[in-house]
Structure 1
Amino acid sequence: MSSDTEDKVELLENASEIMEDLADKLKKLYKYRDLFFENHPVELALQKHACVDVKKEALVKKFESYDVDVQIPFPLRAQFLYMKGRCYNISNKYDARAMQCLSKAVKLNPHLVDAWNELGECYLKNMNMKEAKASFEGALKHERNRLSLRCLAIILRQECGDLKQSEISSAMTKSVELAKEAVAQDIKDGISWSVLGNTYLCQYFLIAQDPATLKLCMSAYKQAWSDPVAKGQPDLHFNKGVALKYSECYGEALQMFDQSCRLDPGWQPPADERAELVRYLTEATKLVHTRGKLKAKRISNMVQTIDKKMLGDYATDSDGARKDVLLELVDIDKLQEGSNEGKVILGRVVGSIHNKNSVPFTFAIIDKSLKCVCVSVYNWANGRGVIIGDVVAVPEPLLSSHAMDSRLAKYEFQSIRVNNPLVLLVNGKRVNRNQYASTRVTSTYEVN
């Protein structure tokens, strides 16, 4: 409808003032939601969505009190519909009314970047990735902006689930580039930092379980933490917990999962991760302290038959060509906390732990000192590993102690982290290259 055919009697003469007032109320509504835990105790987490919905519906009534096709001047209609759609879209669930308003807004004004982005968010809530991607790309045609960039980074990560392994690397590289560009748009935006951290976390699982990638991930989360909006999101705590878990900072990981549960009691993934990690840590403690529940006589026979010949390439009397990696054989109880350069240990497997997603593959070894420790191996292809009785040589072991006694968990054990299974010798033989592979985790750690 053109301005010439509008009913001049019905047009709001103070439409601009009304729009400004609605925009201010909408801004306050989003601030109320985003900073809820800055102004309310976490004990009100269960009521958060209901509280937001009450305020949302009050503002919806104000928007709905105006007939956009009659009362709002034509030049302002796209903006009005965008704001109305954004009001509907504040809920965490899909609202068809938001889709209707936002679709009209972008038709009326294809250059309205905010409307394209909000429409993309709406499609995401409705799990329509194809249309969401088209919406964010439509926004970028008019302006490079952080919301479009970071949402496209998320969509690219999710698309990796349908790609071949050979195609994933380039997709993840593109996702990282988009997330970095989003951060560069506003380095104080914690949500963009959080998305970048999640991108690195996905890269860790989909490309290679490299500790350096986890460090980049944790660095991004640290930046996100300084933004109260991002810090109040349960998904930031959850994803940071995942990163801490695979950094083997178990106590901090449990605290992150627990806080995520408190911030959103109805969200199941953090509760599942917390329970799974507690189970893993309990099993690790039990495995080490009971030495796999093997009888003393069997353990005695196992350790007495450990042969130095099983050191293979790492043996001091090796005639092989790898003289550059000669290491000193030491007992497990002589290891120091942290790195043990120039050392190698040789022990027999007494048991293993079933771990969700098989990351890491964890087993326990014991040697003649009768000291038992867990060994967590990353990048070991699913279905591979060792069995009870195998002799395993671990060069330059990285030893860590883990202990906690609180309402969240009770555990105490030591473990050795191995990032590359190819450095291990199993029964005197080096692990085959076909046993090296990043394990693709099926559960999702995505956030908006």
Structure 2
Amino acid sequence: MAEEEEGAGSRQALQRLQELVDGLYHFRDHYFESHSVEDAGRKQQDVMEEMQKTLQQMGETVTGCSQGRARALMLKGKALNVTPDYSPQAEELLAKAVKLDPELVEAWNQLGEAYWKKGDVAAAHTCFSGALGHRKNKVSLQNLSMVLRQLRTESPEQHAQNVVDSVRQAKQAVQMDVRDGRSWYVLGNAYLSLFFNTGQSPGISQQALSAYAQAEKVDPTASCNPDLHLNRATLHKYEENYTEALEGFSHAAALDPAWPEPRQRQQQLLDFLERLTSLLENKGKVKGKKLQSMLGSLRPAQLGPCGDGRYRGSSGQKVALEHQPLSAMRPGVNTGAVVLGRVLFSLTTDEKVPFTFGLADSEGPCVAVTVYNMVQSWGVLIGDSVAIPEPHLRHHHIQHQDKVSAA
């Protein structure tokens, strides 16, 4: 009878601990449901204060759990794990929990997160893999997907394989629960890594953007994740959707004012667009007579394989191209056309992708040319003649806050 009463008491105590920890995480994850974006700068401090209150309420209850001791330790460790910062105490409690009950999957997941915050990615990988060895679960799959992209490898090929495996783990997490926004968010990040590791394929970029959109659709709290907005803005930047990129960086900065990267990335893009607009308007600041000489010396012979029938299209078949002026190009892919111009300027950024330069011919304004997936040794110099077969033209009108650019 005494044992039954003790067991019932332990169950009630564990239920109370679970409710306290669930409430703490709900406060963190749903912070902006009860606070405005202007309060974002206070969020971490507010979560820390809520954690301290929760730990005080948990205090005596944890020591009262003679049965279910491992779970009680795990819940206290989870409470300490609620902030982005590493907690040695959380690691200690969670390590004890998995020793007491090696099949407690949630303890393995929380311990893995503690190691990850500590910077011990290999130990985190071991924890998440071990948890999956006990039971397949979406949290371990999500975390394993993220850790795989951070693991140190001995070769670029091994890292690329880890990124592919990261996508596979994230897909499994989504399949386990298609209503889990975090799984979709992790899948978006996995596709983002795959995009940059496999030659920036537009198809993979769209898969990442779709995953982020799905995360927001199934989980309203995903819209309050600054990392999601930063990563999506990065994709928009490479897709040359500049207004969306600037808005994403700005929103990420608003959601986490203490995080400098979104604001830095926003300013870098603004600086790039302002410099590019100025160079286009001034034709690279090339003086009048020199400009006339450069553009007047363009000849059909400079078309190279694009003008003598040797050019092969994306299908591999030879395509006869018609030389047309830049002013004749229309938005989209100009099939069957080739343009020829002189390089008037080049514009580099810290990221070096895409490579950007200004091109002009004798009949129209200077246009910006962006080149992706080029070999590192390739480049152009001012005055070089460049032929572009079947160019893809886009007009940009970028408006962000009080700044406007057109290209």
The gaps in structure 1 that reach 5 residues or longer are: 1-6, 414-448
The separation in 2 between residues aligned to 1:143 and 1:94, in whole angstroms, is 26
| Partner of residue 25, structure 2 | 30
Q: Which runs of 4+ in 1 moved over 6 A?
A: none
1:428 maps to: none
Q: Where does residue 351 of structure 2 map in the other structure? A: 357
- Aligned residue type for 2:347: I
**Counterparts of 2:234 and 2:264 in 1: how far apart (Å)?**
12
- Aligned residue in 2 for 1:206: 197
Residues 275-325 of structure 1 deviation map (CA, whole Å, 9 limit, x = unaligned): 11111111111111111010011111111111111112221xx26585822
What's 1:400 paired with?
A: 394
Matched to 2:349, the amino acid is N
Name 1:124's counterpart in structure 2.
Answer: 116
Question: How far off its partner does 1:38 sit?
Answer: 2.2
Q: Does 1:283 align with 2:278?
A: no
Give 3-state SS (helix, strand or coil) of 2:396's partner. strand
Shift of the 163–411 alpha-carbon distance from structure 1 to 2, 3 Å rule, reads farther
CA apart distance, 1:65: 2.5
Structure 2 counterpart of 1:423: none
1:88 aligns with 2:87: no
Code of the aligned partner of 1:409: K
User: How far apart are the structure 1 equivalents of 2:210 and 2:121?
Assistant: 29
String of CA shifts for 1:329-374, please: whole Å, max 9, x gaps.
1111111112211111111100011112211011110011132111
CA contact (8 A) 2:310 2:318 kept: no
8 Å contact from structure 1 (residues 38, 228) kept in 2: no
Percentage of pairs with the same residue:
36
Give me the whole-angstrom Cα distance separating, in 2, the residues matched to 1:220 and 1:15: 42
Question: What is the aligned counterpart of 2:325 among 317, 325, 331?
Answer: 331
Conserved in 1, the CA contact under 8 Å of 2:323 and 2:339?
Answer: yes
Contact kept in structure 1, 2:13 and 2:65, CA below 8 Å? no
Higher RCO (CA < 8 A, seq sep 6+)? 1
Q: Would you say how many aligned residue pairs link Structure 1 and Structure 2?
A: 400
Report how far residue 382 of structure 1 moved. Answer: 2.8
1:185 to 176, 188, 191: 176
Q: Give the partner amino acid of 2:386.
A: V
Q: Aligned match of 1:152 in 141, 144, 148?
A: 144
Contact map agreement 1:79 1:105 (CA 8 A) in 2: yes
Measured in 2, the distance between the counterparts of 1:319 and 1:387 equals 26
Q: Which residue, out of 127, 134, 138, partners 1:135?
A: 127
* Equivalent position of 2:95 in the other structure: 103
The one of 60, 66, 71 equivalent to 1:73 is 66
Deviation at 1:411, TM superposition (A): 1.3
* 1:312 partner letter: G
Amino acid of the structure 2 residue aligned with 1:293: K
SS at the partner of 1:351?
Answer: strand
Whether the aligned pair in 2 keeps the contact of 1:254 and 1:408 (CA below 8 Å) is: no
Q: Post-superposition shift, 1:383?
A: 4.3
Task: Provide the C-alpha distance between the structure 2 equivalents of 1:44 and 1:12, rounded to a whole number of angstroms.
Answer: 44
- Tell which deviates more after alignment, 188-197 or 232-241: 188-197
The residue aligned with 2:53 is 58
Q: Distance in 1 between matches of 2:9 and 2:141?
A: 36
The 3 A distance-change label for structure 1 pair 26 and 109 is same
SS in 2 for 1:220: helix
Contact 1:168 1:207 in 2 (8 A): no
TM-score, L = length of structure 2: 0.94
Following superposition, the deviation at residue 408 of structure 1 comes to 5.8
Query: Which residue in the other structure is 1:445 paired with?
Result: none
Counterparts of 2:53 and 2:159, CA distance in 1: 46
2:9 maps to 1:14: yes
Equivalent residue in structure 2 for 1:44, among 29, 32, 39: 39
Q: Is the 8 A contact 1:106 1:116 kept in 2?
A: yes
Unpaired segments ≥5 residues, structure 2: none
Taking the aligned partners of 2:65 and 2:121, their CA distance within structure 1 comes to 33
State how far apart, in whole Å, the 2-side matches of 1:95 and 1:369 are: 65
Residue 324 of structure 1: SS of its match in structure 2? Answer: coil
Structure 1 residue 229 displacement after superposition? 2.4
Structure in which a larger fraction of residues adopt helix: 2
| Structure 1 residues 162 and 271: alpha-carbon distance in aligned structure 2, compared to 1, 3 A threshold | farther
